[in-house]
Chain A
Amino acid sequence: MTGVRWAYALNQWDTNIDTFVRKREHERAFKTVSISGFSAVELTAESFGAWEPLGTPQQITDLYGSVGEFGQVLRDCALKGISSYVYDPFVGFDVEMGRGYDPLEGASIPKITATAQWFARAVHELGGDVLVVRPAGSAWQTGSLSDEQIGALARCWNEVGAALPQGVKLALHLDFLSALRLNRGVERLLDATDAGLVGLALDTAEYAIAGIDPVDFYRRHADRVTHVQLKNARDVVDDDEALTPHAEQFVRTEGGSRGVGRWFFEPTDEGGLVDFDAFAHALAEHHYSGWVVVESDQSPHPAESAMVSGWYVQKVLRPIVEDTLP
């Protein structure tokens, strides 16, 4: 018996404001996730901001009457609840057509903190215990972050971490275009933050695309990793490409000069940049306790990806991570 719990992210279903809205669609996804062997789902507020179905506690309330009633729907689908919510402070939730807040700016901290608390209360009510956040902007926007900027980010996230309700942990998520990929930004931010307040969400594909070996990184920072997101990748984006102006659009969405059609893949044994077997052994060696959230962003076949991932978790990863190999 370990403290590892397996969840599945809804990313590939939840891609726009006019799809994945009806309860019927949600229930089909939840049942698919449940029967594939996962006990919870991860929600995200990243794709379409305030209007995104299931993207905010307000949207959940508007669709289901209350966060609590949504939790009952999850349980009726044989899930325990949610594992976590992903919150990007650069997305505006309180101003119509507005942008969010940059954690580098001190004036943003109260706003980000209040929004983080809003999400965290929903996480807690829905049985989860992690708030995943985008801790910094993109590399092209700031270049390598100075020590002063790292200090500003640390102040923001320490304050947010201290303000979350009991039982909800804060986990910083590096995306492959983040400024934190430059000049050891992640390590420097970890050093600058309070380990008791700020943890790390390690996303295997984002690290691999950023040219960081997720297995090696995990082994070096296992004590700070409080959340794991598991997905695969096939292409690396180097620092020069990450510095492309508006890289979120031109690299992540359009695929850059190479025309990469899809960055993220489900974890399987079919090849790719991530060595999942080694990663699973590393989790076991360090007695990882917490959520492992499997993701398959960009999958054209959400159910197929959840099921194939479920097989890989049940037959390969879970016996390693939970040390139940014969």
Chain B
Amino acid sequence: MTIKWSYMDHWRANGPSGPYDQWQSRLAMTRFLRQVAAVGFDAIDTFDFRIWQIFEQYGSVANYQEFVQEQGLERIVNTFHGVYYTPDRYAPEVPSTHVTILDDFKRTMDMWSGIQLDNIIVMPGSRYFDEAGVPDDGLKHAADVWGRVGELTQQYGVNLTCHHEFYAGIRTRDQIDRFYSYADPQYVKFFVDTAQHCIADVDPVGVYEAHHERVTGFHFKDTRHKDTNHDYRMFPDAEVSATTTEKWFYEMGTAEGLVDFEAMMRSVRDHGYTGWISVEHDKADKLGGDYAESTAIARWYAKNVLDGIYQEVAS
């Protein structure tokens, strides 16, 4: 296996009755999946909080994956585990919440056991909510709980992998390096989001190369802004509430982007990564953007530029 491309299923458009997404109806889902398949993606990723809609609309996760396959896609590769972290209820840095976290993953993995996922993706630290940042003990507590969660998910054949938002508690290169120095490499994997790292002024190629042995996937997406105004402090979610930057994320393959995808791809190739690369551009519809067009442009770039780099012999 070399590499294959999956699409992380952010989607929204305006219809005759207002904004809608692909979960509005099975017809909307059909059209969404066909667009993704038409431009050459092999699979999709999704969010596990869609589980109840999946049960209602498709009956089971396996049925939904069959629906995906009927449109010409191979499977569902990864799911993102989105949680509203708060230190009193659910926070990796806070040991008193770890029982809740473990219970959550037992329930989640059972609900998704009808299909074989590669990764369940988490934010390893809470959102930024404290001027002091996450203390070193907090990083150790987070590493501990994700190690135990990863041991659990691997019983289902699924990697627990960590995705570092620019506004999250574990966001700087130093925090990331220390977190992984505490985390068991067998159970705690790393999922590189090129734009998130870039916004946080972390070189995505550099951080990948430092931790490539535990990398189990990527979000290839772009940005046009680094966070130079401490927007990451804007609780609860600087991706949508930052005052200085209305749109953080863009599809890869545009001249204005800050991420050097060609360098990223050379590094991925040279480090022998094989498997899935996920393409993502959440909030692509802001400021007049269009999810469909962004998805086509990103896939065009993957096919016409990045695939060629991957196929070159490593220098």
Task: Give A contacts to B, CB under 8 Å.
Answer: 28, 31-32, 34-37, 77-78, 270, 300-304, 306-308, 310-312, 314-315
Q: Does B258 contact A (CB under 8 A)?
A: no
Which B1-46 residues sit within 8 Å CB-CB of chain A? 13-14, 27, 31, 34-35, 37-40
B72 near A307: Cβ-Cβ < 8 Å: no
What is the number of residues of chain B that contact chain A, defined by CB distance less than 8 Å? 23
Contact of A35 among B13, B71, B299 (CB under 8 A): B299
Q: Which 9 A-B pairs have the closest CB atoms?
A: A303-B293, A311-B34, A311-B38, A307-B35, A310-B38, A32-B296, A304-B292, A303-B292, A35-B300
Contact of A301 among B13, B39, B71 (CB under 8 A): B13
Q: Does B304 contact A (CB under 8 A)?
A: yes
Chain B positions 284 through 315: 1 when the CB is less than 8 Å from some CB of chain A, otherwise 0 = 00000010110111011001100000000000
A303: B residues at CB distance < 8 A: 290, 292-293, 296
A311 near B300: Cβ-Cβ < 8 Å: no
Which B253-309 residues sit within 8 Å CB-CB of chain A? 253, 290, 292-293, 295-297, 299-300, 303-304
Contact of A31 with B14 at beta-carbon distance under 8 Å, contacts A36-B38, A304-B292 already known: no
Contact of A314 with B38 at beta-carbon distance under 8 Å, contacts A35-B300, A78-B304, A304-B31 already known: yes
A307 near B296: Cβ-Cβ < 8 Å: yes
Contact of B39 among A28, A302, A307 (CB under 8 A): A307
B37: A residues at CB distance < 8 A: 311, 315
Beyond A304-B292, A307-B292, 14 additional pairs, beta carbon < 8 A: A28-B293, A32-B292, A36-B296, A37-B38, A300-B14, A303-B292, A304-B35, A304-B290, A307-B39, A307-B295, A307-B296, A311-B34, A311-B71, A315-B72
A36: B residues at CB distance < 8 A: 38-39, 296
> B-side binding surface: helix, strand, loop or mixed?
helix
Provide a sorted-by-A list of 29 A–B residue pairs whose CB atoms are within 8 angstroms. Answer: A28-B297, A31-B253, A31-B300, A32-B293, A32-B300, A35-B40, A35-B299, A36-B39, A36-B296, A77-B300, A78-B304, A300-B14, A301-B13, A301-B290, A304-B35, A304-B292, A307-B34, A307-B35, A307-B38, A307-B295, A307-B296, A310-B38, A310-B39, A311-B34, A311-B35, A311-B37, A311-B72, A312-B34, A314-B38
A301 to B35, CA, bound (A): 12
B38 near A308: Cβ-Cβ < 8 Å: yes
A28: B residues at CB distance < 8 A: 293, 297
Chain B: which residue is nearest A269 at the CB level?
B30
Contact of A35 with B35 at beta-carbon distance under 8 Å, contacts A304-B13, A311-B71 already known: no
A303 to B27, CA, bound (A): 17
Shortest C-beta distance, B71 to chain A (Å), equals 7
A34 to B300, CA, bound (A): 8
B292 near A31: Cβ-Cβ < 8 Å: no
B292: A residues at CB distance < 8 A: 32, 301, 303-304, 307
A311 to B38, CA, bound (A): 4
A302: B residues at CB distance < 8 A: 293
B72 near A35: Cβ-Cβ < 8 Å: no
Chain A: which residue is nearest B294 at the CB level?
A303
User: Which residue, of B35, B71, B253, has the highest number of chain A Cβ atoms within 10 A?
Assistant: B35
A270 to B25, CA, bound (A): 14
A304: B residues at CB distance < 8 A: 13, 31, 35, 290, 292
A35: B residues at CB distance < 8 A: 39-40, 296, 299-300, 303
Chain B: which residue is nearest A309 at the CB level?
B38
Chain A: which residue is nearest B298 at the CB level?
A35
Chain A: which residue is nearest B34 at the CB level?
A311
A34 to B297, CA, bound (A): 10
User: Which residue, of A35, A37, A314, has the highest number of chain B Cβ atoms within 10 A?
Assistant: A35
Shortest C-beta distance, A13 to chain B (Å), equals 10
A315: B residues at CB distance < 8 A: 37, 72
B296: A residues at CB distance < 8 A: 31-32, 35-36, 303, 306-307
A270 to B31, CA, bound (A): 10
Chain A: which residue is nearest B40 at the CB level?
A35
A28 to B290, CA, bound (A): 11
A77 to B72, CA, bound (A): 25
Chain B: which residue is nearest A29 at the CB level?
B293
Shortest C-beta distance, B1 to chain A (Å), equals 22
Chain B: which residue is nearest A270 at the CB level?
B27
A31 near B31: Cβ-Cβ < 8 Å: no
A78 to B299, CA, bound (A): 13
Chain A: which residue is nearest B30 at the CB level?
A270
Contact of A32 with B297 at beta-carbon distance under 8 Å, contacts A37-B38, A307-B39 already known: yes
A34 to B302, CA, bound (A): 13
Chain B positions 44 through 69: 1 when the CB is less than 8 Å from some CB of chain A, otherwise 0 = 00000000000000000000000000
B40: A residues at CB distance < 8 A: 35
A114 to B13, CA, bound (A): 44
A203 to B22, CA, bound (A): 31
A304 to B34, CA, bound (A): 10
Shortest C-beta distance, A39 to chain B (Å), equals 14
A77: B residues at CB distance < 8 A: 300
A307: B residues at CB distance < 8 A: 34-35, 38-39, 292, 295-296
A308 to B27, CA, bound (A): 12
A78 to B300, CA, bound (A): 9
A314 to B31, CA, bound (A): 14
Shortest C-beta distance, A316 to chain B (Å), equals 10
B304: A residues at CB distance < 8 A: 78
Shortest C-beta distance, B15 to chain A (Å), equals 9
User: Which residue, of A37, A302, A306, has the highest number of chain B Cβ atoms within 10 A?
Assistant: A306
